[in-house]
Amino acid sequence: MLKHAIPYHHNTAQLFAHIAHLEWAMWLDSAQQHNALGAPSSQYGHYDILVANPIITFVTRGDETEITETGHVVFSKEDPFQLVKNTLAKYSASAEKNLPFAGGAVGYFAYDLGKCIEKLTQNTQIHAQTPQMMVGIYDCAVVVDHREKTVFLISQNLHQKAQENFDALRALFYKPSSGDDIFPFKITSKIISNFTKAQYEQAFHKVKNYILEGDCYQVNLAQRFAANAQGDGWQAYQKLREISPAPFMAYMRLPQCEVLCASPERFLQVQNQHVETRPIKGTRPRVDNAMQDAQNALDLQSSLKDRAENLMIVDLLRNDIGKNCAIGSVKAKQLFQLQSFANVHHLVSIITGKLAVGKSALDLLRGCFPGGSITGAPKLRAMQIIEELEPHQRGLYCGAIGYVGFDGNMDTNIAIRTAVYADGEISFYAGGGIVADSELEKEYTETFDKASSMMKLMRFF
């Protein structure tokens, strides 16, 4: 293994700027924020992971995955999760003590990748433009530890040019980074939803009828917002992390798109076979008035509806992770914990388990995909209803972003509060779980509460 200490900077954006121009550059961002004295000023921020120049890339469109390695391209119709799993298994690489990631797969798994698992009737929807999966295999990674104030560049030294690539990457951190303002980011149109209020109301009542008829208990109904844009999305992401810091953020500069993610929700984590998922269900807006803000949080914590909604998803995820966990190991560790973010309060639960013998992190990811907190229950019927009622395919929204290491460890988010910038358009979604006693106006308003940070970002530009 190759390892080099890089001077620590409390703002990882300053480090990422050195490699943002490289191919497939990605930053898994823990949203560490500091005050003027350099002391931590948020509840987030332990590790950040930066990668670029993967040795292999996977790009899935429909039922075909394009695999590129050292300039050589092949196509496969094999299950995309299995392709990544098989590739990681080819490498014998060691974990690095006290660091979460020392090389492996980093990227996104879009919501629509779930259609390779569950066979859904394809409706005449407008197709998402971005691929269903974009994952790179990275020999080199930069890991920032904000608590220890260290930065390490690590390489597993897995291929012929590993030392050369390691040296080139290391050198970049000692050169001035390119300016952020070369192509200023700008919104050039109004933000438009794919639902009018009347259309949302119609879809809402269809969901309520499905619940009444016994088809499902809960369906996550989302609307898509989009605007024309130009310039560099990296500039917009830096502003997003100021507006809406969250523990599972990410920025990705990919060939087909840029991804700006401010997710508050962990999907699946594996550490030494220990499994954890943290579903979010239940939302109230943050307000400037301190007394009203505290009352909103109290209302959320005491809401029987929101607790029931959360519990439905807890049960779904217990079943999902149980497919690949040891019998008897799955536990609901905490239920209905209040967690407050920049624009909303949420109820969060924690479910844990232990991977069964012979099962891997990618088996777990596939077995739980897409996450139940953003489909509904039961999952398959909820996905069918989403497919029927939402005008656009979801693309990356409600998929997952994260890493799967050579060492078998994994951490992924649920890709909510996430914008995709491609072909001169930036788009993002916001949704909410509809249950039997949901009220139209409250559910409709909740989607705007969840979209408020992205809306604020758009208005800034």
Catalytic site positions: 265, 281
Enumerate long-range contacts of 115-119, CB under 8 Å, 24 or more apart: 116/63, 116/79, 116/80, 117/366, 117/369, 118/379, 118/380, 118/383
DSSP E strands in 13-84: the ranges are 25-29, 47-51, 56-61, 64-69, 72-76
> Which residues lie closer than 8 Å to 25 by C-beta, 6 or more apart?
16, 19, 50, 51, 52, 252, 253
Residue with tokens 């002391």: 39
Angle between helix axes 379-389 and 197-212 (nearest 10 degrees) is 150
Six token digits for residue 128: 């998402």
Nearest to 330 by CA among 246, 406, 417, 268: 268
Q: In angstroms, how far is CA 250 from the centroid of its own chain?
A: 7
Q: Whole-angstrom Cα distance, residue 135 to residue 139?
A: 13
Residue with tokens 């690590």: 154
Radius of gyration of the chain (CA): 21
Residue with tokens 């409390």: 10
* Neighbour tally for 431: CB within 10 Å: 23
3-class state of residue 212 by DSSP:
helix
Q: What is the DSSP letter of 55?
A: S
User: With contact defined as beta carbons under 8 Å apart, do 82 and 29 qualify?
Assistant: no
